[in-house]
């Protein structure tokens, strides 16, 4: 059976969606001149080779490495450490104002899943079924709401955030398949995250202030061992994403 992998790019939630690795990683890239595509792909392969693997040779989460590649492409990109330094006083202010107490409201975030394929019929090959898409949303909700009887870290708590498949598209039209954007990418597999970030995402991303964007692709070539990755919240420089000189939006 063909393996379909899911990865997420998140403006504010990526670090929480995929958190499998806690192993020490390669030292972050020095911020000098940005690398070109060939250099990025060479660097990516080195990171894949060095990444912790499961017993069957899979890289469960490539998020830290993808962040290094993003900074290597665009040295002006805010690092995770810089973001955390920016975020810390915001959290303290939030606590001080009593926003962590009293009546709480569950936040619901509309999701669009860009199912990338090369012409397969729905439910075959890379063109995964709506049921499989929904299963991933269910898992997200299990994790973020810390639902009883579901897998997860025992120290986890209900963060009162839920995800739902969007029902309205950017043209304000009702979606035939809620939350699913089927996109023919013209190729069976994607061999690097750098090509995905540089080509696929800018061509398909919906307004990130209104939708939580997710993509499913088949990884191939040197990236075939990857199971997924996310994007830390920062000014990434990707087309369609806001930038405010380093601070997260």
If DSSP states are collapsed to H, E and C, what string results for 110-121?
EEEEEEEECCCC
| Higher per-residue confidence, 100 vs 129 | 129
Report pLDDT for 75.
79
| Higher per-residue confidence, 129 vs 231 | 129
119 — pLDDT class (breaks 50, 70, 90): very high
Q: Is 229 part of any domain?
A: no
Q: Is 241 part of any domain?
A: no
Mapping DSSP to helix (H, G, I), strand (E, B) and coil, where does residue 11 land? Answer: coil
What tens digit of pLDDT does each residue of 166-214 get? 999 999 999 999 999 999 999 999 999 988 988 999 999 999 989 999 9
Examine the pLDDT at 49 and tell me if it is beyond 80: yes
pTM: 0.75
Q: Is 66 part of any domain?
A: yes
Q: Is 210 part of any domain?
A: yes
Q: Which domain holds residue 74?
A: 5-223
Contact 226, 62 (CB under 8 A): yes
Q: Is 201 part of any domain?
A: yes
What is the rounded average pLDDT of the residues 18-37?
44
Report pLDDT for 217.
95
What percent of the chain has pLDDT above 70? 76
Report pLDDT for 234.
56
Q: Is 239 part of any domain?
A: no
DSSP E strands in the chain: the ranges are: 5-8, 107-117, 161-165, 180-184, 212-217
* Structural domain count, the chain: 1
Cα(214)–Cα(7) distance, integer angstroms: 7
Q: Is 81 part of any domain?
A: yes
Q: Is 244 part of any domain?
A: no
């Amino acid at each position: 059976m063909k393996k379909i992998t899911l990865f997420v790019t998140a403006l504010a939630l990526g670090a929480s969606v995929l958190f499998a690795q806690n192993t020490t990683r390669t030292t972050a890239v020095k911020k000098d001149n940005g690398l070109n595509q060939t250099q990025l792909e060479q660097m990516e392969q080195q990171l894949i080779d060095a990444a912790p693997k499961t017993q069957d040779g899979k890289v469960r989460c490539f998020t830290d490495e993808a962040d290094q590649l993003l900074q290597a492409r665009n040295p002006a990109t805010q690092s995770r450490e810089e973001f955390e330094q920016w975020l810390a006083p915001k959290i303290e202010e939030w606590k001080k104002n009593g926003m962590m107490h009293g009546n709480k409201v569950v936040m619901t975030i509309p999701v669009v899943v860009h199912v990338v394929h090369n012409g397969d019929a729905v439910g075959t090959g890379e063109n995964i079924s709506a049921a499989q898409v929904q299963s991933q949303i269910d898992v997200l909700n299990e994790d973020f709401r810390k639902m009883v009887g579901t897998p997860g870290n025992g120290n986890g708590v209900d963060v009162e955030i839920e995800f739902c498949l969007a029902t309205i598209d950017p043209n304000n039209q009702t979606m035939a398949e809620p939350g699913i954007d089927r996109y023919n990418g013209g190729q069976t597999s994607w061999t690097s995250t750098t090509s995905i970030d540089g080509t696929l995402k800018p061509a398909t991303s919906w307004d990130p202030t209104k939708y939580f964007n997710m993509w499913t692709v088949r990884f191939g070539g040197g990236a075939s061992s990857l199971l997924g990755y996310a994007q830390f919240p920062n000014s990434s420089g990707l087309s369609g994403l806001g930038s405010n000189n380093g601070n997260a939006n």
